[in-house]
């Protein structure tokens, strides 16, 4: 359990440093440091999504090139509340509730995604999505943009808009190893255009 605590502390610190970067140049430099730190964590930490054998051959995750056009802010729009339920095998039942939508324009299309609140003690924001890269250059089950329980939180602007930087879209653990079971994006969070940003497949091996 202390390994897990240490892992989460490190991830929270990585995102804390991201939130301190504001202009394009600072964010791009922070993104490079973030990616290097994540590779090190995945390569060496016992709580890595990779098992021991995978860690021995893992070198680095794959990413699209950083593009400032994929960093946007959006107002959380009110939405009809709806609770979703996923059974996560040994991890039990996972419930998350739609609390609003964010709308945005990216280089290859206009989109709207639901934002969810994870039910249970403490709660947290959750934003999974699938796009036209899924089952092609990214994991078929989609990627995550926000999961504040796990530290994936890019913050808000002074006027209350959410920071959505798809350069930090990442694969859930189940993309790396079948021993993990992850909540994936519901139908309403499936986009019909590609988001060529963030993590991609395959990752690099030694």
pLDDT tens sequence across 160-199: 999 999 999 999 999 999 989 999 999 999 999 999 999 9
Round to whole Å and give the CA distance between 159 and 51: 42
Round to whole Å and give the CA distance between 168 and 147: 12
Mean pLDDT in residue range 8-33: 95
Torsion sign (Cα): 79, 81, 85, 88: positive
Round to whole Å and give the CA distance between 29 and 110: 27
Neighbours of 116 (CB within 10 A): 26
Distances (CA, A) of 37 to 4, 14, 107: 17, 8, 28
pLDDT of residue 90: 67
pLDDT of residue 121: 79
């Amino acid at each position: 359990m202390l390994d897990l605590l240490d892992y989460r502390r490190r991830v929270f610190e990585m995102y804390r440093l991201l939130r301190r970067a504001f202009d394009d140049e600072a964010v791009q430099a922070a993104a490079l440091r973030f990616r290097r730190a994540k590779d090190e964590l995945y390569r060496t930490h016992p709580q890595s999504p990779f098992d021991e054998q995978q860690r021995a051959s893992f070198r680095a995750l794959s990413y699209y090139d950083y593009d400032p056009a994929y960093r946007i802010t959006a107002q959380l729009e009110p939405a009809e509340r709806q609770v979703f339920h996923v059974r996560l095998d040994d991890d039990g039942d996972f419930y998350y509730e739609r609390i609003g939508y964010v709308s945005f324009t990216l280089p290859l299309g206009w989109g709207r995604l639901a934002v969810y609140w994870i039910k249970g003690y403490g709660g947290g924001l959750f934003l999974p999505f699938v796009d036209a890269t899924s089952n092609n250059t990214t994991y078929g089950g989609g990627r995550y943009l926000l999961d504040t329980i796990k530290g994936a939180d890019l913050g808000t602007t002074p006027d209350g808009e959410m920071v959505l930087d798809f350069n930090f879209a990442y694969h859930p653990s189940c993309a790396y190893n079948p021993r993990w079971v992850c909540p994936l994006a519901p139908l309403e969070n499936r986009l019909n255009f590609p988001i060529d940003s963030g993590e991609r497949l395959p990752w690099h091996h030694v």
